[in-house]
Structure 1
Amino acid sequence: MVGRHHRSPAPRHAVSHTVRHTASHTARRALAPLAAASVAVLAAAPLASAAPAAPAAPQQPADQPPCSDAADVCVDLGEQRAWLTDDGRATSGPMAITSGSDEDPTPTGEFTVQRKERHHVSREFGRAPMPYSVFFDDEGRALHSGSRAGSSHGCVRLDKDDAQDVFAALEPGDRVEIVR
C-alpha cells in the first residue's frame, strides 16, 4: 500500500479531550438562558431599604409551659401535654397526657394538691386502678398513671414513668395549673 496514507486512530487522550470540549460547550450553551434570566430577575428586584428591620416579637418556645411562674405542675389540655415546673420554667416534660371527654371534662384553673395515694383504686368507676394518684380537686380528680388510649372521666392520665415523676415531685399544698 505504497502511496496510500493511512490515518492512525487518534490517541485516547485526544478523543476524551474532544468529548470533554464538546460537552462543556453544550453545557455552556444550555445554561446561557438561565444566566440571562438570573440577571434579569436580580435587576428587577427592589433594593432593600436602608432602614433597619424591626425586631421580631419574642415567641414562646415550643416546649415552654403556658402557666404562671407559681405553678408546680402545668397541664395544657389543648396540646395534651404537662410539665413539672419551677419559677415558670420546665424541669420535666413535656409529658403526653389524656384528659376528660366533652361529657366529663377536666376542669381548667388553679388547684392545690390535696393528697397523694400510691395505690389508689376508683370506687366510682368500677374499681379502676389509678396508680400514683395526685388529687387536685374536691371532685376526686387526679393526675395519675393509666392508659392514654381514650378520654378520662376528668382526670389527667400520664404514662407510668411520668406519673411516678409527678408523684415524687409534688406534695400537698403544691400548685396545679390547668389551661386550655
Structure 2
Amino acid sequence: MEAEKLLGRSIFNLSGGEKQKVACASVSAAHPDVFVLDEPTSNLDMDAIESLRRTILLWKSRGKTVVIAEHRLHWLKDICNRVIYMSGGRISLDLPMNEFAALPPEKLRRLGLRPLSLTNLKNESPPAVPGDTLELHDFCCSYDGKKQALDMRSLFCIWKTEWPANSTRLTTAAVNG
C-alpha cells in the first residue's frame, strides 16, 4: 500500500496524496470484496495519482472489484475494464474500455469528460486583451453597502486584472497564506 513510511505521523500534517494512501490502507485492512472511490484523484499530483493507480492494480490482482466515479480518465485507461457514464441519475453509456477508448475526443468533450491521453493536450496561451476590457484596481466588494465581503488585495497577490469583453476568463496569481 506504500503507507508504511507514514506510520507515526499526524494525519493533519500529511499531503493529499499521503492522506489518500492512509485511506486506501485503512479500507484494505477490512478486506472488502468491493472498493468504491469517489473522485479519488481530486487534489492529487501526478506522483500521487500513480501511487493510487498501483494500489488499484494491487486490489485487482487480488480479485477485488473497484468502482470509481471520476472525471480524470487518463490514469484509468489501462486499469479499467468497463466505463459506465451516468447522466441525470441514469446510465446513458455502458461500454468496455476498448470501445470507450475509441470514442472521438469531441464525444468525450460533449459528455463533459476529460481526455484519455495527456499527450495531445493543447497548451493555450491566454488571448491578447482587446481594447474593450474591464479593469479592476484594488477591487473590494461588500453586501448591501455594509462590511467588506471581499478584498482581492488581501486574498490574492494581485492588485489589477483585466477581462476581455464578452469573456469570463480571469487570470489570478498565488493566494496569500
* Shorter-normalised TM range: under 0.3
Which protein has the bigger helix share?
A: 2
TM-score (norm 1): 0.22
Which protein has the bigger strand share?
A: 1
TM-score (norm 2): 0.22
